[in-house]
Amino acid sequence: MGFFEQWAGFGVTFNTIFRKTFTQGYPQKGKEKVTAPRFHGRHQLNRWPDGLEKCVGCELCAWACPADAIYVEGAENTDDARYSPGERFGHVYQINYLRCIFCGLCIEACPTRALTMTNDFKISNDTRTKLIYEKQDLLAPLLPGMEQPPHPRRLGEDERSYFLGLPPTGVPDTRTASTSGAAK
């Protein structure tokens, strides 16, 4: 090994010593860190366009979690108290971020796409109990036109029309991958 090869590694070290890092002055100054679009951050329980919850309490996310960080307890919907369009809903939903390894297997297991991951990476806290997120912490916020559950289904007369007629017009979504822009 020659003289140049021995000192080449020090050149890499020397170049990175004086480079500013993301954590210098964080969060008081500087821009927010922009994450990659597919970044695995904090979980979110999504809603249908009328405000009903997408989670049906099937517990598949809890079964898929290798860290045993998710606890789901399902309950039956009634005509008086409807929280999701199906027969069941997630009555208790907890994610323990002390255990979560952000692998995304729970997202893959969810049949209704109720559980997704956001780009939010600031979930640290000063107590352990604050890192166990309950259902109200995970639910997506209500957007304009949504109504806080429980309430009857607003998007269709029966389950089939509800799930096929997601646009407010009540017309089934007949777009294909080539017309929706997904294949571009």
Annotated binding site: 55, 58, 61, 65, 100, 103, 106, 110
Residues that constitute the known binding site for [4Fe-4S] cluster:
55, 58, 61, 65, 100, 103, 106, 110
Three-class secondary structure assignment of 136-171 = HHHECCCCCCCCCCCCCCCCCCCHHHHHHCCCCCCC
Hey, what amino acid is at 54? K
DSSP state letters, 10-56? HHHHHHHHTSPPTTTTTTTSSPPPPPPTT---SEEE-B-TTS-BS--
Hey, what amino acid is at 97? Y
- Dist CA 73 CA 77 (whole Å): 13
Pairing of strands 43-45, 88-96: unpaired
Query: What would the two tokens of residue 33 be?
Result: 């860190």
